[in-house]
Amino acid sequence: MGDIFSDRISDVPRSFIREILKLTLDKSVISFAGGLPNRDLFPVQEIKDATDRLLEEAGKDILQYSASEGYLGLREWIADRYRSKNLIVHPDNILITNGSQQGMDLLGKTLLNDNDDIIIEEPGYLGAIQAFSLYRSSFHPVPVSEEGIDLDAFHNTVTRHSIKLFYCVPNFQNPSGISYSEGNRQTIALMLKGRRTILMEDDPYGELRFLGKEKSSFYQLMPEYTLLLGSFSKIVAPSFRIGWIVAHDKIMEKLVIAKQASDLHTNYFCQRIIHRYLRDNDIDKHIRKIREAYGRQRDAMVTAIQEYFPAEVLSTHPEGGMFLWITLPKGLSAMTVFTAAITQKVAFVPGDPFYVNKNDVNTLRLNYSSVDEETIRTGIQRLGNVLKSLIIKK
Q: Which is nearer to a copy of itself, 64 or 84 (CB)?
A: 64
CB of 156 to a copy of itself, least distance (A): 23
How many whole angstroms separate alpha carbon 137 and alpha carbon 135?
6
> Which residue's CB is nearer to a copy of itself, number 98 or number 316?
98
Q: Which stretch binds a copy of itself (CB under 8 A): 23-31, 234-242, 285-293, 336-344?
A: 234-242
Kindly indicate which of the ranges 210-218, 258-266, 335-343, 351-359 contains the residues binding a copy of itself, using the contact rule CB under 8 A.
258-266
| Residue (251 or 328) nearer to a copy of itself, CB | 251
Interface with a copy of itself (CB under 8 A), residue total 80
Q: How far is CA 80 from CA 43, 58, 69, 88, 94, in A?
A: 22, 24, 17, 9, 12
Residue spans of alpha helices (H) in 239-372: 249-263, 268-280, 283-308, 334-343
Q: Kindly list the distances between the CA atom of residue 172 and the CA atoms of 116, 207, 319, in Å, as whole numbers in the listed order.
A: 27, 10, 7
33 is a contact residue toward a copy of itself (CB under 8 A): no
Phi, psi of 341 (to 5 degrees): -65, -40
Distance of CA 158 to the CA centre of its chain: 24
Interacting positions 259-318 with a copy of itself (CB under 8 A): 260-270
Contact window for a copy of itself (CB under 8 A) among 100-108, 307-315, 330-338, 355-363: 100-108
Residues 6-25 that bind a copy of itself (CB under 8 A): 6-9, 12, 14-15, 18
Show the DSSP H helices in the chain as ranges.
7-10, 16-23, 44-63, 72-84, 99-111, 126-133, 151-160, 182-192, 218-221, 249-263, 268-280, 283-308, 334-343, 373-393
Output the CA–CA distances (angstroms, integers) from residue 337 to 1, 234, 315, 347, 360, in the order listed: 39, 29, 16, 10, 10
Beta bridge partners of 199: 166, 226
CA-closest candidate to residue 240, choices 387, 390, 42: 42
Regarding 324 and contact with a copy of itself (CB under 8 A), the answer is no
Comparing CB distances to a copy of itself, the nearer of 136 and 382 is: 136
Measure the CA angle with vertex 95, ends 93 and 96; round to 5°: 145
Per-residue x/- marks for a copy of itself, 206-225, CB under 8 A?
------------------xx
Please say which residue, 55 or 340, places its beta carbon nearer to a copy of itself: 55
Asked if 244 touches a copy of itself (CB under 8 A), the answer is no
Q: By C-beta, is 101 or 217 nearer to a copy of itself?
A: 101
Distance of CA 31 to the CA centre of its chain: 19
Q: Rule CB under 8 A: is residue 321 a binding residue for a copy of itself?
A: no
119 touches a copy of itself (CB under 8 A): no
Which 37-66 positions form the footprint of a copy of itself (CB under 8 A)? 37, 39-40, 42, 44-45, 47-48, 51-52, 55-56, 59-66
Query: Looking only at residues 174 through 193 of this chain, which bind a copy of itself when binding is defined by CB under 8 A?
Result: none
Among 16, 29, 36, 299, binds a copy of itself (CB under 8 A): 36
**Residue 105 near a copy of itself by CB under 8 A:** yes
Sequence-separated (6 or more) residues with CB below 8 Å from residue 111: 164, 165, 198, 251
